[in-house]
Amino acid sequence: MTPPKHTFEIGELLIRVKTGRIAIILESRPSGRQIYGRTAMPTRRLLYKVFEDGRSTWKHDMQIAAEYRRAVS
């Protein structure tokens, strides 16, 4: 069974859809934003620290789901 599109694991490799560059998830933490749609556990969205192209940035789960695809394992 595949995980939900907006849930990522620490250390997971991602590929940016537009450029094909590889990124990795370094950290995660709860966000202050509510989940869209039906209420489910957890009730907050997540922020992920993504390392790509020599720098790391914090991005929301839905942003990562839109900009990246999972690397085939």
- Report the percent of the chain where pLDDT is more than 70: 77
- The Cα 1–Cα 6 span in angstroms is 15
pLDDT, tens digit, 9 for 90 and up, residues 5-33: 678 999 999 999 999 999 999 999 988 76
**16 has which bridge partners?**
68
- The Cα 50–Cα 4 span in angstroms is 18
Cβ proximity of 27 and 51 under 8 Å: no
- Predicted local confidence at residue 63, as pLDDT: 93
Domain boundaries, the chain: 13-70
SS3 at position 34: strand
Using pLDDT thresholds of 50, 70 and 90, give the confidence band for residue 4: low
pTM for this prediction: 0.78
- The Cα 60–Cα 49 span in angstroms is 9
| 53-66 average pLDDT score | 94
